[in-house]
């Protein structure tokens, strides 16, 4: 029987962030992880414009399927679904399904149905997440549960899950159905694990990476693997594309964690600092709590554990993250995963335009601003 999730690489950043003592005996901050993020930042920001252009016709078909399958005789269902699906989402996960399938030589439209299913799964998880997290904004719009109520948001999420499974069956690949069904379970497990570790000042980097591998990277991995499988790719190539998706997904989530402390509402389409205000411990917070030590212990207990916060506390946290290198260390780790994603494509033909376009996607996952 296959493992529930494929093993993934852990890169552990030292808890002290690579601090060393200078000649004066004072502590100075230095990065111990390979500073891949700086190299990316110094260059022209990567773009996925090439990938979007390559997949333009396929994604038009995916969008048509999405619009068709979110319809229902119950008016609130398409209205609520369109509120989120019709916003300015990047569609990265279905784009990844299309790219993986075409890289492996897919000719038909089965991959379009899987791509639409992937987007429905993703949208359903967002609807559920916003209820659990009491989020106010999503993709620059008022969160659906604040308009239609939490019960409607949860039930429309369930409807989209059901539509996703209908599309998987229509795609005609039991292997792809197994991959995406397993991913749906793993995502739910990751969300519950994160919920049980909320406000946990003792959360480790290893446990946090387990959480995001399940709740975020698993759908990236399944999206790519399902695309490969429906194209008839060999098991080795399907595994390689799963690895690509998994590592790209980890890079994406770690970059997202940084943006929560460094981004703006206009760019992000949601309020920066939402994770902090909810007491949600992400990797930048794991790093900064370890690096500030006993001097700030009561500050973290008050703001993260008890969630007794002011806006000044969020600003102080951001300043501490910059001073200790917590944000940069998180980006460096993300860049390492992006490099791993690109390495997973090494055995695919370089002549295919899909391979460099997917490599750009891995870099974009880290360098994006929203």
- Give the span between the Cα atoms of 216 and 211, in whole angstroms: 8
Please check the confidence at residue 367 and state whether its pLDDT lies above 70: yes
Q: Give the pLDDT confidence of 217-230 residue by residue, as tens digits.
A: 999 999 999 999 99
Tell whether 33 is covered by a domain.
Answer: no
Which is more confident, 169 or 37?
169
pTM: 0.86
Task: Please give the average per-residue pLDDT across 242-261, as a whole number.
Answer: 96
Range of the domain at 116: 46-367
The count of structural domains within the chain is 1
- Give the span between the Cα atoms of 182 and 259, in whole angstroms: 29
Please check the confidence at residue 173 and state whether its pLDDT lies above 80: yes
Q: What is the mean pLDDT of the chain?
A: 87
Q: Give the pLDDT confidence of 279-317 residue by residue, as tens digits.
A: 889 999 999 999 998 889 999 999 999 999 988 999 999
pLDDT of residue 140: 67
Q: Report the share of the chain in percent with pLDDT over 70.
A: 84
Tell whether 28 is covered by a domain.
Answer: no
Tell whether 3 is covered by a domain.
Answer: no
What is the 3-state composition of the chain as percent helix, strand, coil, each rounded to the nearest 5?
Answer: 70, 0, 30
State the Cα angle at 260 between 259 and 262, rounded to 5°: 55
Task: Please give the average per-residue pLDDT across 268-289, as a whole number.
Answer: 86
- Give the span between the Cα atoms of 273 and 257, in whole angstroms: 10
Tell whether 188 is covered by a domain.
Answer: yes
Tell whether 27 is covered by a domain.
Answer: no
3-state SS string for 187-216? HHHHHHHHHHCCCCCCCCHHHHHHHHHHHH
Tell whether 297 is covered by a domain.
Answer: yes
Question: Is 370 within 8 Å of 264 (Cβ atoms)?
Answer: no
Domain harbouring 323, CATH code: 1.10.600.10
Tell whether 19 is covered by a domain.
Answer: no
pLDDT of residue 192: 94
Q: Report the share of the chain in percent with pLDDT over 90.
A: 71
Tell whether 242 is covered by a domain.
Answer: yes
Structure token digits, residue 200: 């946990």
């Amino acid at each position: 029987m296959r493992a529930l999730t494929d093993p993934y690489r852990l890169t552990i950043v030292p808890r002290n962030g690579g601090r060393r003592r200078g000649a004066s005996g004072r502590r100075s901050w230095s990065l111990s992880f390979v500073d891949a993020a700086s190299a990316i930042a110094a260059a022209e920001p990567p773009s996925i414009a090439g990938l979007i252009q390559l997949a333009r016709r396929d994604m038009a078909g995916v969008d048509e399927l999405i619009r068709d399958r979110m319809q229902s005789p119950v008016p609130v269902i398409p209205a609520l679904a369109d509120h989120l699906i019709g916003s300015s989402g990047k569609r990265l996960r279905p784009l990844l399904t299309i790219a993986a399938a075409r890289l492996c030589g897919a000719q038909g439209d089965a991959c379009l149905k899987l791509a639409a299913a992937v987007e429905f799964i993703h949208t359903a998880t967002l609807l559920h997440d916003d209820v659990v997290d009491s989020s106010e904004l999503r993709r620059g719009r008022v969160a659906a549960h604040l308009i239609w109520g939490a019960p409607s948001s949860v039930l429309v999420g369930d409807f989209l899950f059901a539509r996703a499974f209908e599309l998987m069956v229509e795609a005609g690949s039991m292997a792809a159905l197994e991959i995406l069904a397993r991913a749906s379970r793993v995502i739910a497990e990751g969300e519950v694990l994160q919920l049980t570790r909320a406000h946990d000042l003792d959360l480790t980097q290893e446990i946090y990476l387990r959480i995001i591998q399940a709740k975020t990277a698993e759908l990236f991995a399944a999206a790519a693997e399902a695309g490969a499988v429906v194209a008839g790719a060999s098991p080795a190539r399907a595994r390689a594309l799963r690895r690509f998706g998994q590592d790209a997904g980890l890079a994406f989530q770690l970059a997202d964690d940084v943006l929560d402390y460094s981004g703006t509402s206009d760019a992000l389409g949601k309020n920066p600092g939402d994770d902090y205000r909810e007491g949600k411990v992400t990797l930048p917070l794991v790093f900064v709590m370890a690096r500030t030590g006993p001097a700030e212990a009561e500050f973290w207990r008050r703001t993260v554990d008890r969630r007794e916060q002011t806006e000044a506390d969020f600003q102080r946290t951001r300043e501490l993250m910059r001073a200790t290198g917590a944000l940069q260390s998180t980006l460096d780790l993300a860049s390492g995963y992006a490099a791993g994603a690109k390495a997973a494509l090494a055995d695919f033909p370089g002549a295919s335009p899909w391979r460099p376009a997917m490599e750009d996607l891995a870099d974009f996952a880290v360098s994006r601003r929203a």
